[in-house]
Every structure is written in C-alpha cells, then in structure tokens.
Structure 1
Amino acid sequence: MNGRSCGQEPGDPVEATALVQITMGLDQVEVWLCEKMWSRLNEWLWWERLWLPPNYSWTQLEDRDGVVYAHPRDMLAALPLALALVAMRFTFERLVGRPLSRWLGVQDQARRLVKPNATLEKHFLMERGRPKETQMAVLAAQCGLTLRQTQRWFRRRRNQERPCLTKKFCEASWRFVFYLCSFFGGLSVLYHESWLWRPVMCWDNYPIQPLKPALYYWYLFELSFYISLLVTLPFDIRRKDFKEQVAHHFVTITLVTFSYSANLLRIGSLVLLLHDSADFLLEACKMFNYARQQQVCNSLFIVFSLVFFYTRLVLFPTQILYTTYFESVLSWDPFFGYYFFNSLLLLLQLLHVFWSCLILRMIHSFTKKGQMEKDIRSDAEESDSSEGEAAQERPQLKNGTAPTDGPRSRAAVWLANGHKSTT
C-alpha cells in the first residue's frame, strides 16, 4: 500500500465526470435563471396596465376573421429598412445631390490650408479649436510665431473643419425629397379618414381599431427614416442645436414606437403629418440659400415661417394636445400610457417653442437686411483676418481721420493726370 488506497488517484475519470456534471448543472441553473428573469421582465414590460386602458387586454387585439391589428413586433422591420435608407441616402447624395448642386450654381469657398504644426494641432483638438487668449500667447512663443500668425492658423484650421456648401446642399436635398414624399404620401393615406378632419374620432372605439396596410407602411417608413438620422448623426453637419436635434429624434422614435404598440395610430399619424407639412419647405429654403438664389429663398422662408407657426403653435396645441389631454379620457380612465404619451407630446411642443424662437430671430434679421443670409444654427465661415486684425491693419487717428503716412494716403495726393497735388 502506498498511502493512497483509501482515496482515488488525481485525475481519476470518476472525479472528472463528477466535475463535468456539476459544471453542466450550474450552467443549466444559470440558463434557467436567465430565462426566468427575461420572462419576468417581458411580463412587466408588456403589462397591459402600462399600454392599454383599463378593462382591455392584448387578447382583444389578436388578429381574427381577417381583421389585423397593430403588433409591436411589426416595428422590427424598421431596423433593416433604416440601414437601407442610409445606403439610399449616400447613393442619392452622390448621384443626384451633387449634380443638382452644380446645376443650381452652388460654389464652395476656397480655403487656405494650414501648415502642419503638431503643437497647435494638439491644442486645437483639446480646446475644440478655440484656445483662450492667454493660451494663444504661450503657443505663439512655443512655436516661434507672432500672436496674429497663431490666431490666423486657428481660424484657417477651424474653417477646414466646417462643411462645404455642397455637403450642406446634399443633406438638405435628401431630407427635402423624404419629407416631400412623406407628407404627400401621408396625406393620401389620411385624406379620406374621419380623424384627419375631426381629431376626436381618434378615440372612437379605442383601442379596438383595425390596422390598414397603407397606414402601417407609412408608419414604418417614418420610423425607419428617424432611425437612419440617428445612425448618420456622427457624419452629418453638426449645428448649434445639435442637442435639441438629438432629443427631437429620440422623442419622435419613442412616440412612433409607443403609439404603434399601444394602437394609438390615429393620433400618431396626425402628429407625423403635421410635422412633415413644414419640414420639406425648410429644406427647400436651405437648398436655394446655398445656391445663392435669394429671391426664391426669401419667398420660401416666408411660406415656411407661416406654415411652421400655424402647425406647431396653433394646430398642435389646440387640436393634438387638446384631444390627447381632454377628449381622450371621455371614454376611459387615464392609465400609464396616457401620461407617458402626453409627456412626450409636451416635450415635443417645448422643442417647437425653441425652434420658433430661432425662426423669429431669423425673421428679425430678414426684416432688417431684406434677405435671409444664413441658417442661424450653422457656424459661419471665418474670414482670413479677424476684425481685430483688420482694425490693426487700418489704424485711425483719435479724431477719426485716416493716417497720412499709409500707401493710400500717399497715392491720394497724385492727381488723375499724373501730377502731384500742391495742397
């Protein structure tokens, strides 16, 4: 006996088999726990009290006898369709947007490239292109440049980051085509529906409202587009209202998804149609602004402003918000979906007010200068020399007269016949 006869040798097959069985048992327990947690989460997420009015259940919205209802799983088709729209957009911008921009006379401004400078480039990325004046002086000393040369380098570097007019035009043209097709497509779907003309009909026999195929495809088209906007957001032009745009896209996607899942298709379709009515006018206005066709741009801007204010500040609160807040609860008691849906609509209305203020600022500039110069959400191209530099290059005396020792003052004393003035 060697002292191991009472036990088993290390690496014994029986022991290995036992360990494998224990491991498999633990794996099965983990799988069972995950399935149980997922089942509980799924039950809570689709709890009828969250989505439907009291005394209604999902079983009442099951398809039967040829009658089809909206099901949340239907919206999964929006994901591959959104990717298809992204591919379609880049193809459209390349094959249609760019040739159209050249045909309309869109011209990109020539830009001077900066000389490579690792020190300045590092601070450009760290400070988002706008270092403080104290940092500017230190950087100038480190690089052996004057302060004005350093300022000019940062201005030119910022201009290199700004998108050209052709890119802006292509983005606007794609959105114009989508919003135009979406608006008139939605109008053709809803034109003969009673709830388009009387929003209170949105709650007639809710939520037992059958789904029409045309309405489903239009809804799917809208949801796919807004998902595609989020996908391409890192590549799009970053405007000053970037955060508001992101919030708008998220609110819209949530509204579309929730309204479809809760069978709030009627009121949701009115919200979508109301928004598309002004959006294609805005994109058309941008296109002609980039093409420097100011008369057409100004006319479209006036029409867009009137449509925007009427739909967002008049129709939306008096027709949409009124019927969702007050008329909807005449047939059933409020539930979670009622409060959630109305909260999203209220947030959307706050964004409407924000953009209305921007439009009013543009109108103020329009009335003062007689034309709409630019979208105030966009960064303007900076000139090669700042106003401060220009003032230094064109100094004036204390009494406001021009200096007499400059090249222009010396040239001014020569008369047209080539003789020098005696005065």
Structure 2
Amino acid sequence: MLQTVSDWLWWDRLWLPSNVSWSDLEDAEGRVYAKASQLYFALPCALCLLLIRCVFECFLAAPLAHVLGVRDKVRLKAEQNSILEQFFIHQAKTPSQADIRALCKKSGWQQRRVDVWFRRRRNQERPKLQKRFCEASWRCAFYFFAFFGGLLALYDKPWFYNLKEVWSGFPKQSVLPSQYWYYILEMGFYISLLLSLTFDVKRKDFKEQVVHHIATLTLLSFSWISNYIRIGTIVMAVHDSADILLEGAKVLNYAKYHRTANATFAVFTLLFMLTRLVIFPFWLIHCTWVYPVELYPPFFGYYFFNVMLMVLQILHIYWAILISRMFYKCIFSKLEGDDRSDEEEDDSEPLKEKHQNHVNGSGARGRANGHAPTRAQ
C-alpha cells in the first residue's frame, strides 16, 4: 500500500510537463539535477542556525544593546493574591467586567486594584525590550547576508535580467552549487523560525506568520524537486530585500534612534510596496503563470506552484495594510516598537488612588489599634 501511495505521489504527470519523466532528470552528460533527498540537510541546517542565533544574541546583540543603551523597563510586580492568580492561570488573562466584579467580591479588593493587578501580571509575561532587540538584530543580520549572498548567486545569470530565460530548457536545467546552498540556508532559516515560534516574541499576526513560513517551505521544497529553482532564487531575493530594512528599523527604534528609525521604516515601506505589491505579482507571478504555457500545456504542478504564490500574495496584502497603518503613525504621530507586537500596558495607579489606599491603610491600622484616624492623619 505504501508503494502505491508513493507511486501516486511521485506520478510524473502530477509534477512534470507532458513528455517529461523523472528518469529524464537523472544526472547524465555533465548535468546535475536537484533531488528531493538533498533537502533533508535543511533540518540540521536549521538546528545549526538556532545555535548560531543563540551565540549571536548572547555575544553580539546583547552587548550591542548595552552599548546603545537599550534597557528593560522596570516592571512593577503584581501583589500576591491566590484568587486572582488562579483565575489568571486557569481561566483568562484578560477578564471581562463581569469576571472583575466577581473577583472583587471574592478578593475584597476594589475594581481599580484588580484592574491594575491584571495589567501588571500580563506585563510580567511579556517579552522584554532587550529580547526584542536581540531577535530583530538576528533577523536583520540573516536577511542582510542572505540577500547579498543571493545577489552573488544571481548577478551573472541571464534569467535575473530576462525572466523568459527562467524557462529556457525547463525542466532539464542543471542545478548550481550556489543555488543549492541558497536554498538550504533559506529553508533552514524558515524551519528555525517555526521551531522558535513558541519562545520568540509573539505578535498579533502569529497565525499569519505560521501560514507564511509553511507556505514558503512548501514552495521552496516543491520548486526544488520540480526544478523551479531559477524562479525560486529570484523570489527569495525579492523577499529578503525589504526585510533587512524592516528589522533594521526595529533595531534603531528599540535603541531610541527614532528619527533614523522612522526614515528607515519609510524607505522600507516604499520598498515593500514595490517588491511585494508590484514586482512579485506583476513580474514574478506573471512569469510563472504566462511563460510556462508557451512551452507546455498546464499540469497539476503548474497550478499548485501558482496557487502557493497567490497565498503569499494574499499575506503580502494583509501585511501591506498593517504597514500602512504603521507608516501613518510614523508620519503623523510617533512610531514605537512593532504594531504587530503585544505592547506593555500602563500598570501605574493614579496619585489620587494611591493616596486613598494610603488613607485606607492608615484607617485600618488605626481601627486595629482601637481608635479612628484623626483629620491630621
């Protein structure tokens, strides 16, 4: 049964054009073709990148944060209260007004005090500024080296300048060592991002990030196996170009270089709109949608590859809306942090309430000593 499933899964007509079989893509006459087994190395590569990331964050990013004056905000610790703690852990971190009123009765605290407790307790679980700085620094460094490494692998290739050359001789195109390492590093990086999602800073677009990483890995795997490697390398380079500026703007913003960060973010916004909303759909998807049918009749792999590219494009539109909002803040107000991040809440108490708590405390102590507080008290 497994053999039947394998034969169906690797059926030539699914993934390759008509009159082309997997046997045609076996190494011969000096040609070396991509093989599915070569992608297994992406997993150890991902583990190595996680190790490199730990070293980078500990010995480069953290000292840099110290030099740039990136300090974690002093957080007020939530008071000890077993009733509120049990509710926070087992029921909800953000209680409704009805829940707060019920908790006030159980704990004997005023509503404002319960509100402040939950804000402080939520803040205790949020990632600190230095952690965000280190994560952004790592991603910025990787995208920087990946983008310029991709340019080195592409700058002398004819298909980088003429997209019709992407399909010249397809699918019988020999794979180059530079293409192999570019693919393995990119796949390893996205696998490492999936593995680290649980302990990285959680953002509002967490689910979209998971969809993006899975779609990217699926695209890279399929494009490698089916020899869509030329267009795959161009897609990776186009994506990495804007991501450098995004992570760089975050690093600058966390370091409180707000003007430089805003200028960098403005350039990123323009580059993102150009690469993701213009070049990607009107050049690259056009290249994969129109040019192949001039050579071969459409087949399942052709549709599958283009559908996955459209999934990425939908995510690009979603992020373009978020980025537009952030750009508006950058121009007309003040951009701090990442609009996708779960920002810290104000957990301070108003002076009036602090004074009232102090008076209530004094009154309680006075009654405990057998007399009421005087006006002077």
Same fold at TM > 0.5: yes
2:78–2:120 contact (8 Å) kept in structure 1: yes
- Alignment correspondent of 2:133: 169
Call closer, same or farther: CA 1:107–1:277 in 2, change over 3 Å: same
CA deviation string 1:123-171 (max 9, x = no partner): 1124441001111111121112111111111010011111111000000
- Alignment correspondent of 1:205: 169
CA deviation string 1:354-387 (max 9, x = no partner): 1100111111112212x4223111122111247x
Give the whole-Å Cα distance in 2 for the aligned partners of 1:81 and 1:347.
26
- Alignment partner for residue 159 of structure 2, among 188, 195, 202? 195
Give the whole-Å Cα distance in 2 for the aligned partners of 1:365 and 1:392.
33
Give the whole-Å Cα distance in 2 for the aligned partners of 1:203 and 1:390.
70
Give the whole-Å Cα distance in 2 for the aligned partners of 1:146 and 1:320.
60
- Alignment correspondent of 2:45: 81
Q: Which has the higher contact order (CA 8 A, sep 6+)?
A: 2
- Alignment correspondent of 2:365: none
Tell me by how many angstroms 1:115 deviates: 2.2
Tell me by how many angstroms 1:101 deviates: 0.7
Give the whole-Å Cα distance in 1 for the aligned partners of 2:162 and 2:30.
28
Instruction: Name structure 1 gaps, 5 residues minimum.
Output: 1-36, 395-423
1:155–1:382 contact (8 Å) kept in structure 2: yes
1:200–1:328 contact (8 Å) kept in structure 2: no
Amino acid at match of 1:311: T
1:271–1:320 contact (8 Å) kept in structure 2: yes
- Alignment correspondent of 1:383: 346
- Alignment correspondent of 2:259: 295
Q: Name the SS for the 1:384 alignment partner.
A: coil
- Alignment correspondent of 1:273: 237
Tell me by how many angstroms 1:235 deviates: 0.6
2:223–2:229 contact (8 Å) kept in structure 1: yes
1:324–1:342 contact (8 Å) kept in structure 2: yes
- Alignment partner for residue 32 of structure 2, among 46, 51, 68? 68
Amino acid at match of 2:335: M
Rg larger in structure? 1
CA deviation string 1:16-40 (max 9, x = no partner): xxxxxxxxxxxxxxxxxxxxx2211
- Alignment partner for residue 114 of structure 2, among 150, 171, 181? 150
- Alignment correspondent of 2:322: 358
- Alignment partner for residue 313 of structure 1, among 277, 288, 305? 277
Tell me by how many angstroms 1:51 deviates: 1.1
- Alignment correspondent of 1:18: none
Amino acid at match of 1:149: R
Q: Name the SS for the 1:106 alignment partner.
A: coil
- Is residue 331 of structure 2 the alignment partner of residue 374 of structure 1? no
Amino acid at match of 2:269: S
- Alignment correspondent of 1:119: 83
2:202–2:342 contact (8 Å) kept in structure 1: no
- Percent of aligned pairs with the same residue? 46
- Alignment correspondent of 1:222: 186
RMSD of aligned alpha carbons:
1.6
Amino acid at match of 1:373: E
- Alignment partner for residue 105 of structure 1, among 52, 64, 69? 69
CA deviation string 1:387-416 (max 9, x = no partner): xx689899xxxxxxxxxxxxxxxxxxxxxx
Call closer, same or farther: CA 1:44–1:79 in 2, change over 3 Å: same
- Alignment correspondent of 1:29: none
Q: Name the SS for the 1:343 alignment partner.
A: helix
- Alignment correspondent of 1:33: none
CA deviation string 1:35-59 (max 9, x = no partner): xx22111111111111111110011
Q: Name the SS for the 2:290 alignment partner.
A: helix
CA deviation string 1:43-92 (max 9, x = no partner): 11111111111110011110113321101111011111111111111121
Moved more, 83-92 or 70-79: 83-92
Amino acid at match of 1:48: D
Moved more, 114-123 or 186-195: 114-123
Q: Name the SS for the 2:43 alignment partner.
A: helix
Instruction: Name structure 2 gaps, 5 residues minimum.
Output: 356-377
Give the whole-Å Cα distance in 2 for the aligned partners of 1:349 and 1:301.
21
Amino acid at match of 1:198: N
TM-score (norm 1): 0.82
CA deviation string 1:330-369 (max 9, x = no partner): 0000000011000000010000001100111111112212
TM-score (norm 2): 0.91
CA deviation string 1:299-355 (max 9, x = no partner): 111111111110011101111111111112100000000110000000100000011
